[in-house]
Chain A
Amino acid sequence: MTILARYVPSAREQGFLDQVQNARYNREIITGIKKFLSGDVPDDMKSFYSRSELDALAALEDSDRDVQKRMPVKITRHYFEQARNSLPMQVLIKASPKETVDLDGAEDPGKQMDYSPVEGLIHKYELGLIYVASTCSAHCRFCYREELIAKKEVTRPDGTVAPKGLAQIGELIPYIREHNRLVAENGGRHPETGREKLREILMSGGDPMVLGNRNIAAWLAALAEAGIESIRIGTKELAFFPDRFDDAFLDMLDRFHETYPETNLRIMVHFNHPDEFLKKAANGTYIENENGSLQWLDNTRRAVRRLRQRNWINVDNQAPIIKGINNDPDALRIMQRELKRNGVENHYFFCGRDIVGHKAFNVPIEEAWAILNESQKGLSGVEAHARLSITHYKGKTEVAAVTNEPIPGLPGAENGVLIFKLLRSAADAPDRCKVTIVGRNPEAIWFSGYVDRVLFDEAELYSMYGIGLKGLDRAA
């Protein structure tokens, strides 16, 4: 077992931390199908699962297809109240036997463990991702961190097998300082890995917003002290429990800003569907304001407004496009428009990852692109900033375009092509914006769906695995 270095806060840091107050929150969380089966839930939740749905889930219990072993069931009161009038939200939050029909997929999609130099840190780009919590207020069924949330064991590059652990301040901060020291001494690049300075840390999990204010504050201050310029908090709490963004939390943020005025905060929120934040009339339609814009749930809007009142905080939304939840251009159009109007930038939409059980959730890549493209028709330029991203082992990749027309004279392009653009290589920057072009495959839900039709591979998304171009394969 590793003996963790004791982290000693600086005087400035301690002065900030001494002012932070924790508050109490009652999310009224329900965990586990058992509660719904036994009726041990509030009266208005008893019909959230039908009898036949419960019977089907109970029949799978303790089998290979046990849905709760894949991902425990968990819901907050707030989410339930919106979800009972929203089929897409029910698909997001309710367990379904469909999830375990096909358990094909990867336990560690994106091979994150390859990029983990210390426990709980994924070091890619100039950005590091840290796991600071192993749970969320509620659980999305399609979660791609299911191995962390469900505490499954994963195989590490050195061959050992253990559950993913959380980052510890005492271990992470010395790593950041040492990395950045070596980078500075070596003229801006790490002498061995070639990576740049770690400028930005994404606090993730799980959801950092399940932590108390003191815990969050300890992370923010330690990261700022270590020279991190921007801190991201990846959270779905605005959808699960917006009241978490309360006076005590905002007061903590304000004191953090007073103490570290040069550190920027980026709240990366996760809305999948406008039903998660818009008011609905009894007939199921959204309620319009006088000018035609739509009315938000009061507490969600209040939380967003208060974050955006602070000009050193950015709020960005990113979400996967998931079957039955938001593979709907109209819903995505409304969501992008309303988020932007309220100061939330539309950052990325993602193709679902190849997690275990992904076939129940993933939309084919070309279809996801078409849905997003359709949703952005009728949006103004600033509302349509979001791109469709798919995460390659090599780095974050955009699905830049899908054509319907054949390219004359190019074998494999008879049905049109798909263009991937490597946005960032995980290791270093030189490959930025190189592209890979593949012949279309409307069924493909991951990169593997194109291995037999690679037409051009400047980004080396396929050649790195020894997969050649279609034409060259034929020649060989």
Chain B
Amino acid sequence: MTFIVTENCIRCKYTDCVEVCPVDCFYEGPNFLVIHPDECIDCADCEPACPANAIVSDSDLAPDQMQFAKLNAELAALWDNIALKKDPLPDAASWDGQPGKLEYLER
């Protein structure tokens, strides 16, 4: 199945995950990353790499994050692949851990 990028990535977008992904299955939007669920091979390398603890296995998805399974699948089809790490968004540190970030998701 797959790992899923959840809400806490929004407005942080650290991209450490991209660097460790063996299959380059991350896709990049303006302020969020997603994992392509059909390309992810469940190696679990990205989970500990995320400084914002935003990546989880779909088996461990918290009830309030369930919608991110669908969002990852949907946005991966729209966005461009990202395979190289880049700088995080400028205010990443202050946004890390803030609640209710979904409303800021830019497509």
Binding site for B on A (CB under 8 A): 22, 24-27, 29-32, 34-35, 40, 74, 133-135, 137, 151, 206, 210-212, 214-215
What are 12 of the A-B contact pairs (CB < 8 Å)? A25-B38, A29-B41, A31-B1, A31-B42, A31-B57, A32-B59, A35-B59, A134-B43, A206-B43, A210-B23, A211-B22, A211-B23
A135–B22 CB distance below 8 A: yes
Contact A24 B38 (CB under 8 A): yes
Q: Determine if B43 and A135 form an interchain contact, defined as CB atoms under 8 angstroms apart.
A: yes
Contacts of A151 in B (CB 8 A): 44
Query: Tally of A-B residue pairs with Cβ under 8 A?
Result: 53
Which chain A residues lie closer than 8 Å to B38 at the CB level? 24-26
- DSSP majority for the A interface? loop
Instruction: Decide yes or no whether B74 CB sits under 8 A from chain A.
Output: no
B43 surroundings in chain A (CB, below 8 A): 133-135, 206, 210
Q: Are B42 and A215 in contact (CB under 8 A)?
A: no
- Tell me which residues across on chain B come within 8 A of A26, comparing CB atoms: 38-39
Q: For B1, B22, B41, which residue has the most chain A Cβ atoms within 10 angstroms?
A: B41
Q: A25-B39, A135-B42 are in contact. Are A212 and B24 (CB under 8 A)?
A: yes
Q: Which 4 A-B pairs have the closest CB atoms?
A: A135-B43, A26-B38, A31-B42, A34-B59
B22 adjacent to A210 (CB under 8 Å): yes
Does any Cβ of A come within 8 Å of B80's Cβ? no
B residues less than 8 Å from A212 (CB atoms): 22-24
Taking a contact as CB atoms under 8 Å apart, the answer to whether B39 and A24 are in contact is: yes
Task: Give min CB distance, A113 to chain B, whole Å.
Answer: 21
Which listed residue (B22, B36, B59, B83) contacts A133, Cβ 8 A? B22
Inter-chain pairs besides A30-B1, A151-B44, A215-B23, 14 sampled, C-beta below 8 Å: A24-B36, A25-B39, A29-B41, A29-B42, A31-B57, A34-B59, A35-B59, A134-B43, A134-B45, A135-B42, A135-B45, A210-B22, A211-B23, A212-B24
Which chain A residues lie closer than 8 Å to B45 at the CB level?
A: 134-135
- Cα A74 to Cα B40 in complex, Å, equals 13
A302 to chain B, nearest CB (A): 22
A388 CA / B102 CA spacing, docked (Å)? 58
Could you tell me the distance between the alpha carbons of A35 and B58 in the complex, rounded to whole angstroms? 10
Instruction: List the B side residues contacting A22 at CB < 8 Å.
Output: 24
B22/A215 in contact, CB under 8 A: yes
Chain B residues 57 to 105 lying within 8 A of chain A, measured CB to CB, are 57, 59, 83
Cα–Cα distance between A78 and B59 once the two chains are bound (Å): 22
Closest CB in chain A relative to B15 CB, distance in Å: 17
Identify the closest chain A residue to B41 (Cβ): A210
CA distance A199 to B44 in the complex (A): 33
**Closest chain A CB from B83 CB (angstroms):** 8
Q: Are B24 and A35 in contact (CB under 8 A)?
A: no
Across-interface contacts of B39 in A (CB, < 8 A): 24-26
| Per-residue interface assignment for chain B, residues 41 to 53, with 1 indicating a CB less than 8 Å from any chain A CB and 0 otherwise | 1111100000000
Of B22, B38, B57, which is in contact with the most chain A CB atoms at under 10 Å from its CB? B22
Contact B41 A27 (CB under 8 A): yes
Given known A32-B57, A34-B59, A35-B59, contact A74–B42 (CB-CB < 8 A)? yes
Across-interface contacts of B59 in A (CB, < 8 A) = 31-32, 34-35, 40
Contacts of B41 in A (CB 8 A): 27, 29, 135, 137, 210
**Is B57 within 8 A of A215, CB to CB?**
no
Beta-carbon nearest neighbor of B48 in chain A: A151
Give CA–CA (A174, B42) in the complex, Å.
31
Chain B residues with CB below 8 A from A211, complex form: 22-23
Q: How far is the CA of A109 from the CA of B77 in the complex (A)?
A: 43
* Beta-carbon nearest neighbor of A34 in chain B: B59
CB-nearest residue of chain B to A37: B59
- CB A148 to nearest CB in B, in angstroms, measures 11
A399 to B23, CA, bound (A): 39
Given the complex, which residues of A lie within 8 Å of B22, measured CB to CB? 133-135, 206, 210-212, 215
Which residues from chain A contact B57 at a C-beta distance below 8 Å?
31-32
A74 to B2, CA, bound (A): 12
A40 to B83, CA, bound (A): 30
Please measure, in the bound complex, the distance between the C-alpha atom of A134 and the C-alpha atom of B1, giving whole angstroms.
Answer: 17
Q: Closest B-chain residue to A41, C-beta based?
A: B1
Expressed in whole angstroms, the Cα–Cα distance for A27 and B38 within the complex equals 7
A421-B24 Cα distance, complex, nearest whole Å: 44
Q: How far is the CA of A151 from the CA of B22 in the complex (A)?
A: 15
| Chain B residue at smallest Cβ distance from A22 | B24
**Chain A residues positioned under 8 Å from B42 (CB to CB):** 29, 31, 74, 135
Tell me the B22-41 residues at the A interface (CB within 8 Å). Answer: 22-24, 36, 38-39, 41
Q: Which residues of B contact A35 (CB under 8 A)?
A: 1, 59
Q: Which residues of B contact A30 (CB under 8 A)?
A: 1
Cross-chain contact A29 with B1 (CB below 8 angstroms): yes
A31 to B22, CA, bound (A): 17
CA separation between A139 and B42, bound complex, in Å? 11
A74 to B43, CA, bound (A): 10
Task: Report which residue of B24, B38, B43, B44 has the largest number of chain A beta carbons within 10 angstroms of its beta carbon.
Answer: B43
Give the CA-CA distance A137 to B23 in the complex, in Å: 11
| Cβ-closest chain A residue relative to B36 | A24
Which residues on A sit within 8 Å (CB–CB) of B44?
Answer: 135, 151
Cα–Cα, bound, A153→B36 (Å): 29
Tell me, in angstroms, the Cα distance from A134 to B20 when the chains sit together: 11
**Nearest CB of chain B from residue A143's CB, rounded to whole Å:** 14
Question: In the complex, what distance in Å separates the CA atom of A27 from the CA atom of B36?
Answer: 13
Q: Kindly list chain A residues whose C-beta atoms are within 8 Å of the C-beta of B36.
A: 24
